């Protein structure tokens, strides 16, 4: 192979497509984008290419296809599984969507927005809010996460209970396929039976089947107001009973239902400045519930929440509860929830698992799997927290005091993760509920997936990306 002369020729051709603004080769400028935000994965790249639009991106991908050059798409670089970090070989182009950041159209009547891949989630929130509308998906990384990344990872977050994941919110997609062709599927049709659903195939494909360049997204009316409840409960089983009661009584008004063990709350209060305990005394477990209304004729959330909590207290489901009386109090409750991971890092190393099981099975799973892990691995402590209403928790296993933070995540960390994943599979669950597979869970997916599913995934990957140039090494082995 004659590597050396090829690269400059390739870069010249790319520069001719995207211009000087769209091409970065300076190592210092590149560096931040070659490591994932948590600093776990590091890679190298020929260059970072940032096309200004889908036509430029299409030309870049065609060129990459004709030269068999790997492409690693990247949005806000805030993924959780190393899905946007290239490998160490330095043979790939890092494809940044940052310059494709137009909000093409907002249609208040149809309640849709057409946003390009590089639009940051918070920017999207603000743009549609100005029209009295809301994009009902949010998550911790909203200041950096982009539409393209959210679509490609089928992102979740804290409002899935009412509004679903990205999959439920994407009405149309535009994408460049691995041969450089442009799939134009932005027009929203409520009914369309013209064969295989490419939209759903691209959602959650982590950039391995093509690069999403824009999406038509569903909007809902802006919130009129909301109330956030922080309640102490005896156990995950009590939380489950509370969830069932609230679903029956307030299914339409409940946006989120999160569970938090006391251990996580203690960590937050210890490490995060400006936080304070929401209840008068510690409780074994806590739940955070958000009630919202988006039409004035729906029940007022605060009064509604008060009545429901009074009933839950009478039925013995909650030990104590506080209801936000203002927007700043609502935000303070959410801050407790959103700071759990940060507080945990201050405590020491932990193995983190983003897992789901059927919603009805989650409470018992938290109890049984937590006990099994702590019994099997001396000195570990399990904290399972998060989206209990979706059957999805972040199942974290903290290292024993004094564990070596450099060594423990590999030994016995990897064995702990395999043990947790085995428990999840045995419960009929998923080893990736909302973060995706990326490079972090690729081998675990291969180990645990049923052969029919894995075989079909490999066949689809080979069919649409026969050269294996699209985000190689992620999700499915090449």
Among residue numbers 202 through 231, which ones bind a copy of itself (CB under 8 A)?
Answer: 203-206, 209
Piece of the chain touching a copy of itself by CB under 8 A; list 47-55, 64-72, 181-189, 323-331: 181-189
Q: What is the DSSP string of 183-203?
A: EEE-S--S---SSS-HHHHHT
Regarding 163 and contact with a copy of itself (CB under 8 A), the answer is no
Cβ 178 to a copy of itself, closest distance in Å? 10
Closest CA to 391 of 364, 371, 417: 364
Piece of the chain touching a copy of itself by CB under 8 A; list 63-71, 160-168, 283-291, 308-316: 160-168
d(CA 146, CA 119): 5
Work out which of 193, 296, 314, 405 binds a copy of itself, going by CB under 8 A: 193
d(CA 445, CA 5): 39
Piece of the chain touching a copy of itself by CB under 8 A; list 49-57, 65-73, 336-344, 357-365: 357-365
Q: Residue 305, Cα to own-chain centre: how many angstroms?
A: 28
d(CA 413, CA 417): 6
Cβ 252 to a copy of itself, closest distance in Å? 8
Work out which of 9, 31, 189, 371 binds a copy of itself, going by CB under 8 A: 189
Regarding 296 and contact with a copy of itself (CB under 8 A), the answer is no
d(CA 414, CA 443): 12
d(CA 77, CA 148): 11
Piece of the chain touching a copy of itself by CB under 8 A; list 17-25, 94-102, 284-292, 388-396: 388-396
Nearer to a copy of itself, 201 or 279 (CB): 201
d(CA 138, CA 129): 14
Regarding 109 and contact with a copy of itself (CB under 8 A), the answer is yes
Nearer to a copy of itself, 412 or 429 (CB): 429
From residue 171, alpha-carbon distances to 112, 190, 439 in Å are: 8, 9, 28
Contact 151/215 with Cβ under 8 angstroms?
A: yes
Regarding 300 and contact with a copy of itself (CB under 8 A), the answer is no
Work out which of 436, 439, 469, 471 binds a copy of itself, going by CB under 8 A: 436
Nearer to a copy of itself, 19 or 428 (CB): 428
d(CA 74, CA 86): 10
Regarding 184 and contact with a copy of itself (CB under 8 A), the answer is yes
Nearer to a copy of itself, 19 or 132 (CB): 132
Cβ 356 to a copy of itself, closest distance in Å? 5
Query: Residue 14 half-sphere exposure, CB side, CA atoms within 13 Å?
Result: 30
Regarding 132 and contact with a copy of itself (CB under 8 A), the answer is no
Mask of contacts with a copy of itself, 235-274, x by CB under 8 A?
Answer: ---------x------------------------------
Piece of the chain touching a copy of itself by CB under 8 A; list 4-12, 307-315, 383-391, 407-415: 383-391
Regarding 133 and contact with a copy of itself (CB under 8 A), the answer is no
Q: Report the DSSP beta bridge partners of residue 37.
A: none
Nearer to a copy of itself, 117 or 399 (CB): 117
Work out which of 12, 29, 126, 197 binds a copy of itself, going by CB under 8 A: 197
Tokens standing for 274? 């400006």
Contact 348/403 with Cβ under 8 angstroms?
A: yes
Work out which of 68, 315, 335, 462 binds a copy of itself, going by CB under 8 A: 462
Work out which of 153, 267, 339, 352 binds a copy of itself, going by CB under 8 A: 153
One-letter-per-residue 3-state SS of 162-181: HHCCHHHHEEEEEEECCCCC
d(CA 241, CA 384): 18
Of the chain, the end-to-end C-alpha distance in Å amounts to 21
Regarding 160 and contact with a copy of itself (CB under 8 A), the answer is yes
Cβ 478 to a copy of itself, closest distance in Å? 14
Regarding 192 and contact with a copy of itself (CB under 8 A), the answer is yes
State the DSSP code for 295.
S
d(CA 151, CA 36): 18
Name the 3-class secondary structure at 182: strand
Regarding 455 and contact with a copy of itself (CB under 8 A), the answer is yes
Cβ 328 to a copy of itself, closest distance in Å? 30
d(CA 153, CA 165): 10
Q: What is the DSSP string of 229-240?
A: EEEEESSHHHHH
Cβ 312 to a copy of itself, closest distance in Å? 18
Piece of the chain touching a copy of itself by CB under 8 A; list 129-137, 195-203, 281-289, 400-408: 195-203
Regarding 167 and contact with a copy of itself (CB under 8 A), the answer is yes
d(CA 437, CA 415): 18
């Amino acid at each position: 192979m004659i590597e050396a002369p090829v690269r400059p020729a390739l870069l010249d051709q790319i520069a001719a497509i995207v211009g000087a603004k769209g091409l970065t080769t300076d190592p210092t400028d590149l560096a931040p984008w070659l490591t994932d935000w948590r600093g776990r994965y590091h890679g190298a790249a020929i260059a970072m290419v940032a096309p200004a639009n889908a036509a430029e991106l299409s030309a870049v991908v065609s060129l990459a296809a004709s030269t068999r050059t790997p492409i690693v798409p990247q949005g806000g670089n805030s993924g959780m599984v190393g899905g946007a970090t290239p490998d160490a070989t330095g043979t790939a182009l890092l494809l940044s969507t940052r310059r494709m950041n137009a909000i093409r159209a907002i249609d208040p009547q149809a309640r849709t927005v057409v946003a390009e891949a590089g639009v940051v989630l918070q920017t999207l929130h603000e743009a549609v809010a100005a029209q009295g509308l809301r994009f009902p998906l949010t998550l911790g990384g909203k200041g950096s996460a982009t539409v393209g990344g959210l679509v490609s990872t089928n992102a979740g977050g804290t409002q899935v209970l009412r509004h679903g994941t990205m999959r439920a919110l994407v009405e149309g997609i535009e994408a460049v396929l691995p041969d450089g062709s442009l799939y134009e599927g932005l027009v929203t049709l409520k009914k369309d039976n013209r064969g295989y659903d490419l939209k759903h195939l691209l959602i959650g494909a982590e950039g391995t089947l093509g690069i999403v360049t824009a999406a038509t997204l569903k909007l809902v009316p802006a919130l009129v107001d909301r109330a956030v409840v922080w309640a102490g409960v005896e156990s995950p089983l009590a939380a489950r009973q509370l969830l069932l009661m609230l679903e029956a009584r307030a299914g339409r008004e409940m946006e989120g239902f999160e569970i938090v063990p006391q251990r996580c709350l203690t960590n937050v209060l210890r490490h995060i400045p400006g936080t304070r305990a929401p209840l008068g005394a510690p409780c074994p477990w806590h739940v955070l519930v958000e009630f919202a209304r988006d039409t004035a004729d729906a029940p007022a959330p605060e009064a509604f929440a008060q009545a429901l909590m009074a009933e839950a207290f009478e039925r013995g489901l909650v030990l104590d509860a506080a209801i936000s009386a203002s927007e700043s109090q609502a935000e303070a409750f959410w801050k407790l929830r959103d700071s759990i991971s940060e507080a945990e890092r201050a405590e020491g190393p932990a193995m983190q698992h983003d897992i789901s099981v059927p919603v009805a099975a989650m409470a018992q799973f938290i109890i049984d799997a937590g006990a099994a892990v702590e019994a099997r691995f001396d000195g570990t402590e399990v904290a399972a927290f998060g989206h209990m209403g979706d059957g999805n928790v972040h199942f974290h296993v903290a290292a024993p005091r004094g564990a070596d933070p450099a060594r423990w995540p590999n030994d016995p960390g990897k064995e702990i993760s395999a043990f947790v994943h085995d428990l999840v599979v045995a419960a009929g669950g998923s080893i990736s509920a909302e973060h995706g597979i990326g490079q972090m869970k690729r081998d675990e997916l291969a180990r645990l997936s049923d052969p029919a599913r894995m075989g079909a995934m490999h066949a689809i990957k080979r069919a649409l990306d026969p050269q294996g140039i699209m985000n190689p090494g992620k999700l499915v082995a090449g």
